[in-house]
Structure 1
Amino acid sequence: MPFISKIQRQTDYDLFPSSTPIVIDNGASYFRIGWAGENEPRVVFRNIVQRPRHKATGETVTIVGDHDPALLRYFDCTRSGPRSAFDSNVVFQFEIMEYILDFAFDRLGANGSRIDHPVLITECVCNPVQSRSKMAELLFETYGVPSVAFGVDAAFSYKYNQQHGICDKDGLAICPGFTTTHVIPFVDGEPVYKGCCRTNIGGYHVTDHLKQLLSLKYPHHMARFTWEKVEDLKMEHCYVALDYALEAQLFQKGGKEAEDKSRCWQLPWVPPPMEEPPSEEEIARKAAIRERQGQRLREMAEAKRSSRINELENQLHGLEFLLQQLEQVQQEEIQSFLSETGYVSKQEIESTLMKVSQSLRKAKGEPKAEQAENEEKADSSTSEKYPLVNVPDNVLTPEQLKEKKRQVFLKTTTEGRQRAKQKRFEEELEREKKNQQDEERRLENPELYLDQMHSKYKELYEKVEQRKRLKTNGGHANGNNLSGGVGRGERLNAAQRERMRLLTTAAFDRGKGEDTFGAKDEDWQLYKLMSKDNDDDDDGADVDEAELARVCARLQEIDPTFVPKPELTAAQPATAEAPRARPLTKEDFQIVLGVERFRCPEILFHPNLVGIDQAGFDEMTGVSIRRLPSKDGALEDRLTSSVFMTGGCCLFPGISERLEAGIRMLRPCGSPIKVVRALDPVRDAWRGASVYAANLQFPQQTFSRADYYEKGEDWLRRYQLRYTL
């Protein structure tokens, strides 16, 4: 079975005799395995299994415990996440447990699947017989273990520290594990299982609570809060408050003390590069590049202009040559000649010639005065082009009448174009004159001119927007239109509403009698009022909008700080300007741990903070003491005189003081209370089991494979390990 792991395989497995026991601390968080008599386990890894498929080959591999995250990019982990064999500190997935044991024995150096050494394995307090029997079946049937012994991890840690003088023979062992917490009373060095107490709260819930709080506080950094990183933050920064309410008030008020108790985790952040002003050499180099680009563009424009002039000259010469040939053609052959050239008549050729001449003059850049003279000459020649316009109809033949209508249409169209062109020319001259006057006023007093332009822009803007609101809301400019919609009358302008008023008045003023409208001359004045051109508002609006656009463009030229106001519409009312995005700074990548430092471990004493309706550490000690058969208070005093703590959660600073204060509130005044912590709360369970398995009397506490086959699994119900040898 292929394994992926960073743990090196041991090479001295064959040096140990078959009588040397293998010690296994099977915890819900970490798995530890080693040899009896040694002080440290040989192999330690997380008690999880992941079985992804390779993306290229499709082969399923087994990843046990810690792994290199860089390797996961080669595997498909979408259908196989990390899995544990435990449920509330009880092994129930023995298929996963088999993967873990295979990996553990392989890393220990075992050759093959058969294990010829006795095994001491830890379990939780009051482990169900079903779980214990399945574990024995796995060890005996799969690995061929000669003998097995089951012991409680907290009891081994208690006995190990008792040998070092940390705790007494009588006492309470509190073991906050990964998912559960146990309280075990010890009397004369042996655990009393009738007085045990368990609650479903542990280090997993503390880490998960901290992960949720940080994800809610910093949702944009949620990907950074991996389980391993949050676990490190918990063990490095969290602590247990002696008084949770006072500590929370301290952070609520803020101040120097709360700031000192806060911790900061700086995420990787690269400052944006500072934009330095370009040097003179860089400015000169860019200017030279722009000049070369401009020169190249000018050359291209000049080449294009020359090509256009040559094309127009060739076309002009062709049209002139065509007219010369047309003059030499006889009258009856004109139509056949024109059909070959693609033109309908001589006038069309002359019109095209005139357009080509104008385009050629424009391409050559002739002055406007000369161009106007040429246009006047062309206009004078147009009268010669339309000889039938001034001829009476009675002297013309039907064919000449048709030709006269066509000449009238062409002349009218030409004159209309000339008038429009003249109007545009006059408007352009007026605009240039006005711009010149504005520039003279600006040069005389720039500040006064700028203020006047701003005032004018504001006045025009309000005027235009007021007209838009009146047109949209039908005169309800004060915002009192509470009907929830816009009716037909509200969509009409002022002139249309006036017409409707006149019609309504004329209809209702007659009363219920005979309709005599029109009998008097005054009645017909109504049609004059209705037909009167009252649509000047729209023309005024167009003029104001054009002037507003001109003033806005002028302000953008002379005032770099000017920002035009957005236009208002009915569907988009005036809103506040959206905040501009600011560049990210170092503070945006800082994770500040304040109240979370003591809020997360507080669930060990108040599990109801995370929705678990069970007792905390201090209450569990009182429950465990009350379950013991005691006639006097001497035993209770001996138990509270040696309250022993072991497990990973005991590493929180302040947990001993907080537990002692909680027990003191439950016990009578003056009762002796002493809370001690294990030398190494994490590994003392394995060390105690190693010392126990190295004792010469250890084989008497095990049961062999022969006993298992003879007595069956039910015998495990009566099996109990004695910790005092």
Structure 2
Amino acid sequence: MPFISKIQRQSDYNLFDSNTPLVIDNGASYFRIGWAGESEPRVVFRNLVQRPRHKVTGETVTIVGDHDPALLKYFDCTRSGPRSAFDSNVVYQFETMEYILDFGFDRMGANGTEIDHPVLITECVCNPVQSRSKMAELLFETYGVPSIAFGVDVAFSYKYNQQQGVCAKDCLALCPGFNTTHVIPFVDGEPVYEGCCRTNVGGFHVTDHLKQLLSLKYPYHLARFTWEKVEDLKMEHCYIAPDYVSEVRLFQKGAKEAEEKTRCWQLPWVPPPIEEPPSEEEIARKAAIKEKQGQRLREMAEAKRSSKINELENELHGLEFLFHQLEQVEESKVLSFLAETGYGSRQEIESARNKVMQSLRKAKGEPKNEQDETEKVDPAANEKYSLINIPDDMLTQEQLNEKKKQLSLKSMAEGRQRLKQKRHEEELERERKQQLEEEKRLENPELYLEQLHARYKDLSERLDQQKRLKTNGGHSNGNNLSGGVGRGERLNAAQRERMRLLTTAAFDRGKGEDTFGARDEDWQLYKLMSKDYNDDDEGPDEEEAELACISSRLQDLDPTFIPKLEAGISQPAELPHVRPLTKEDFQIFLGVERFRCPELLFNPNWIAVDQVGLDEMVGVSIRRLPYKDESLEQRLTSSILVTGGSSLFPGIVERLEAGIRMIRPCGTPIKIVRALDPVMDAWRGAASFASDPQFHMQTFSRLDYYEKGEDWLRNYQLQYTL
């Protein structure tokens, strides 16, 4: 179970006497361990454990505290995230705590698991007996510690600052920590636990709130907002506002002071390379390459064309030779000769020869000779439809059936020919109209453009009116006062005629019994009703096509023209313009977030914690004191010590003083001071306490633990005044 860490292992563990205590500041954020009497801890690391598996070997490793992020790419961390042994400020995961203690003792240089030094370990105020007993069991049973002492971290910080003359013996200690915030009153240098107060808000919640705000503000930079980076941003830029409402109004108004208080974090950004235009030599080189490729393609196409012409000429010579041979064959041997060649009749050979001649003429690029084609095709067609001009009484039943087939085939062929001719005429007419339009435009461009706009406006209005007539109008009470279109106004002439016939047919037969449909002539009305009245419906389609043509023409001639979307023409969807990323897209601005997140210490209800803020906790703690003494309350408020990692926010002392004055009587002396080092003073105070010769009188040994059991820890209380 190897450890991964950048912390160097100490080498002087065996040089210390066995009576020298080990001092452990077991905080929810950081774990600090060192020797009693020293001014700085030997080993400091984050109080977290992560146990991933190696991606190749599958071995489980233990990552405690700080680690090298570059090493994590070799491990699978999807099933094992960072874990803490704390719930709020109380240790409850002792398996994780064992990993942390193993690592701490290992970095101190201890060989094996046997620790032969007394241990002073810190805990939160009013720590549950179960947590304290489990910690004692872990240290006694696992590590063989000879004796243990438990002390409150806030009390050690207070004692250290009292020795330095920062605060008095009667003092209120405020400790906004990592997970919780505590207020402990001290009277004559000893804590009064009956007056303690706790709120479950600390630096962790401030960092988490800042991370959420930045993630919502910049969702495309989520990977940048790691916990460590957000923690650094909090400690570097956040502050406590003297008056939160006034500070917010500055940013709402966009005042100059708000701009000065806004901080910018520039993310790594590499500008895209600037593409320089190609030089003349490069353009000439690319043109030469393109010309060479084009020449090669033209040569390949010419070779393919020549090969195809040779094949068609050979095939044509073969068909002509076969045709000449067929002319020399006797009539009785024609069928046998055709069976050998694979053709069914003389017409098939002639048709194949005509197709090959057309393909050869097309391959050579010669123009079509429609007259020759007609002269050559007509005889074949006459032979193909040979039974059409023969009277029916001269034909047998089989010939009559064949004649019907020939009639249908001939009508279909003639229909295709007429359709082809009609398309050719329409194309010529379209080209003629386009030529006339171009002549008009060249003659007077301004007048031509004005006429196009007028025509477009007229057609679009007409189509809009037709669509309004087709759609249902507003409901009216019979007088059509609502401006809607009535049922009769929405129908064209054919539809109105059908309605008239339907409504009057039955009553035209008599006022009595309805006998419509009894006679054959009644059904003539159905023929009238079922007629295809599509004359009125053809107009809008032609007009829409003309409107589309005019719109396309106007877009080509007038760059300022914008077609109407409601004209019924589908407009092409424009692709969104992709803006290249700039340096400003990689900037994170911290404005109102700088003071909004630390405000949680004074307003825990913002994150659904229904408890009092830091300033109100002072009043709660004073009211909980077991004895009421006005002079004691004044002594306590005149010496208020702020310690803990979250007390490093700028402006917290001024904000606390203003808040406490609001809840204390007028004229109450209030003095608030910050600890010399709010983060390290707890360990330094514990190290100073453990170096005192009388410290061993405050510990309980392993023999006492085995003799008296865990219940004896319930009444254990450290005396901080030796």
So what's the TM-score if we normalise by structure 2? 0.89
Q: Within 5 A, what are the aligned runs for 1:480-559?
A: 494=492, 497-498=495-496, 500-510=498-508, 512-513=511-512, 534-548=533-547, 550-551=549-550, 554=553
**Which residue in 1 is equivalent to 2:112?**
112
Tell me what 1:373 maps to.
371
The structure-2 alpha-carbon separation of the partners of 1:446 and 1:285, relative to structure 1 and needing over 3 Å to count, comes to farther
Aligned to 1:437: 436
Residues 382-531 of structure 1 aligned to structure 2 (within 5 Å): 382=380, 385=383, 389-394=388-393, 411-450=410-449, 452-453=451-452, 456=455, 460=459, 469=467, 475-476=470-471, 494=492, 497-498=495-496, 500-510=498-508, 512-513=511-512
| CA RMSD after TM alignment | 3.5
Q: Secondary structure at the match of 1:720?
A: coil
Is the Cα–Cα contact under 8 Å of residues 460 and 567 in structure 2 kept in the other structure? Answer: no
Question: Once the 2 structures are TM-superposed, how far is the Cα of residue 315 of structure 1 from its aligned partner?
Answer: 2.8
Separation in structure 2 between the aligned mates of residue 41 and residue 375 of structure 1, nearest angstrom: 109
* Structure 2 counterpart of 1:639, one-letter code: L
Change (3 A) 1:18 1:325: same
Task: Note the alpha carbon deviations across 1:434-477, whole angstroms, 9 max, x for none.
Answer: 3333333333444554554455556556656766x46xxx7127
Give distance in 2, aligned partners of 1:634 and 1:397: 140
Higher alpha-carbon deviation: 421-430 or 593-602: 421-430
**Tell me, what secondary structure is at the counterpart of 2:120?**
strand
Residue aligned with 1:148, SS: strand
Deviates more, 1:504-513 or 1:396-405: 396-405
Q: Is the 8 A contact 2:506 2:515 kept in 1?
A: no
How many angstroms does 1:11 deviate by? 1.8
1:500 counterpart letter in structure 2: R
Aligned positions of 1:344-355 closer than 5 A: 344-355=344-355
Tell me, in whole angstroms, the C-alpha distance in 2 between the residues paired with 1:351 and 1:410: 17
1:310 aligns to what SS in structure 2?
A: helix
Contact 2:315 2:356 in 1 (8 A): yes
CA distance, structure 2, for counterparts of residue 284 and residue 681 of structure 1: 73
Q: Distance in 1 between matches of 2:371 and 2:670?
A: 119
Counterpart position of 2:663: 666
Instruction: Check if 1:56 corresponds to 2:56.
Output: yes
Q: Which moved more, 1:292-301 or 1:556-565?
A: 556-565
2 CA distance for matches of 1:392 and 1:127?
A: 123
* Cα distance change of structure 1 residues 246 and 350 upon mapping to structure 2, 3 Å threshold: same
> Bigger shift: 160-169 or 650-659?
160-169
Match of 1:690 among 687, 690, 693: 687
User: In the alignment, what sits opposite 1:66?
Assistant: 66
**Is 1:324 the counterpart of 2:324 in the alignment?**
yes
Amino acid at match of 1:198: R
Task: Give, in whole Å, the separation in 2 of the partners of 1:713 and 1:400.
Answer: 121
Partner of 2:75: 75
- Which whole-Å CA distance do the structure 2 matches of 1:268 and 1:451 have between them? 56
1:606 aligns with 2:603: yes
Q: Out of 142-151 and 351-360, give the one that drifted further.
A: 351-360
Aligned pairs for 1:581-596 (under 5 A) are 581-596=578-593
Distance 2:497 2:344 in 1: 52
TM-superposed CA distance for 1:158, in Å, is: 0.9
Distance 1:216 1:22, change over 3 A: same
Greater displacement, 143-152 / 295-304:
295-304
> Which residue in 2 is equivalent to 1:624?
621
Alpha-carbon distance, 1:623 to partner: 1.5
Q: Deviations over 1:508-532 (max 9, x none)?
A: 5525336798999x99996896576
Q: Equivalents in 2 of 1:479, 1:292: separation in Å?
A: 70
- Contact 2:463/2:567 (8 A) holds in 1: no
Code of the residue aligned with 1:331 in structure 2: it is: E
Distance in 1, matches of 2:195 and 2:4, equals 43
| Letter of the 2:116 counterpart | D
Q: Aligned runs of 1:701-712 on 2, under 5 Å?
A: 701-712=698-709
Task: Specify the alignment match of 1:486 in structure 2.
Answer: none
Please list, as runs of the form range in 1=range in 2, the aligned pairs for 1:257-406 lying within 5 A after superposition: 257-367=257-367, 371-379=369-377, 381-382=379-380, 385=383, 389-394=388-393
- Measured after TM superposition, the shift of residue 640 of structure 1 is 0.8
Alignment of 1:68-147 (within 5 A): 68-147=68-147
Task: State whether residues 701 and 721 of structure 1, in contact with CA within 8 Å, keep that contact through their aligned partners in structure 2.
Answer: yes
Instruction: For residue 114 of structure 1, give the secondary structure of its aligned residue in structure 2.
Output: coil
Residue 677 (structure 2) pairs with residue 675 (structure 1): no
Aligned with 2:678: secondary structure?
coil
In the alignment, the residues of structure 2 paired with residue 481 and residue 114 of structure 1 have an alpha-carbon distance, to the nearest angstrom, of 98
- Distance in 2, matches of 1:451 and 1:433, equals 22
CA distance in 2: counterparts of 1:342 and 1:96, whole angstroms = 94
Cα distance in 2 for residues equivalent to 1:283 and 1:554: 35
1:602 maps to a residue whose letter is E
1:180, distance to aligned residue in structure 2 (A) = 0.9
Cα distance, 1:136–1:399 mapped onto 2, change above 3 Å: closer
Shifted more, 644-653 versus 629-638: the winner is 629-638
Distance 2:709 2:506 in 1: 111
C-alpha distance in 2, partners of 1:466/1:314?
66
- Give the alignment of 1:94-243 within 5 angstroms: 94-243=94-243
* Paired letter, 2:606: L
Corresponding position of 1:29 = 29
Q: C-alpha distance in 1, partners of 2:622/2:570?
A: 72
AA partner of residue 33 (structure 1): I
Q: CA deviation at 1:36?
A: 1.5
User: In structure 2, how many angstroms separate the alpha carbons of the residues matched to 1:342 and 1:495?
Assistant: 63
Range that drifts further, 410-419 or 29-38 = 410-419
Secondary structure of 1:697's partner? helix
- Output the amino acid matched with 1:69: P
Aligned-pair CA distance for 1:503: 2.8
One-letter amino acid of the counterpart of residue 142, structure 1: T
Question: In 2 relative to 1, CA 283–251 (structure 1 residues): closer, same or farther, beyond 3 Å?
Answer: same
Counterparts of 1:267 and 1:348, CA distance in 2 = 81
CA deviation after TM superposition for structure 1 residue 567, in Å: 8.3
Amino acid at match of 2:370: A
Q: Is the 8 A contact 1:502 1:526 kept in 2?
A: no
Instruction: Tell me, yes or no, if the aligned pair for 2:240 and 2:595 is still in contact at 8 Å.
Output: yes
Given the superposition, is the C-alpha separation of residues 76 and 498 from structure 1 closer, same or farther in structure 2, using an over 3 Å criterion? same
Conserved? CA contact 2:498–2:529, under 8 Å: no
Task: Please give the alpha-carbon distance, in whole angstroms, between the structure 2 residues aligned to 1:541 and 1:102.
Answer: 88
1:171-220 CA-to-partner distances (Å, cap 9, x unmatched) read 11111111111111111112122221111111111111222222222233
CA contact (8 A) 1:640 1:672 kept: yes
Contact preservation (8 Å) 1:361, 1:371: no
1:39 is displaced (CA, Å) by 1.4
| Residues 174, 182 of structure 2: 8 Å contact kept | yes
Distance 1:441 1:298 in 2: 40
For 1:667 and 1:406, the matched residues in 2 are separated by 116
* Contact 2:459/2:543 (8 A) holds in 1: yes
Q: Per the alignment, do residues 637 and 523 of structure 1 end up closer, same or farther by CA in structure 2, a change over 3 Å counting?
A: same
**TM-score, with normalisation over the residues of structure 1?**
0.88
- Inter-partner Cα distance in structure 2 for 1:399 and 1:672: 130
**Aligned pair count?**
709
- Percent of matched pairs sharing the same residue: 73
Q: Does the aligned pair in 2 maintain the 1:495–1:535 contact within 8 Å?
A: no
> Would the alpha carbon gap of residues 294 and 506 (structure 1) be closer, same or farther in structure 2, given more than 3 Å must change?
farther
User: Does 1:724 pair with 2:721?
Assistant: yes
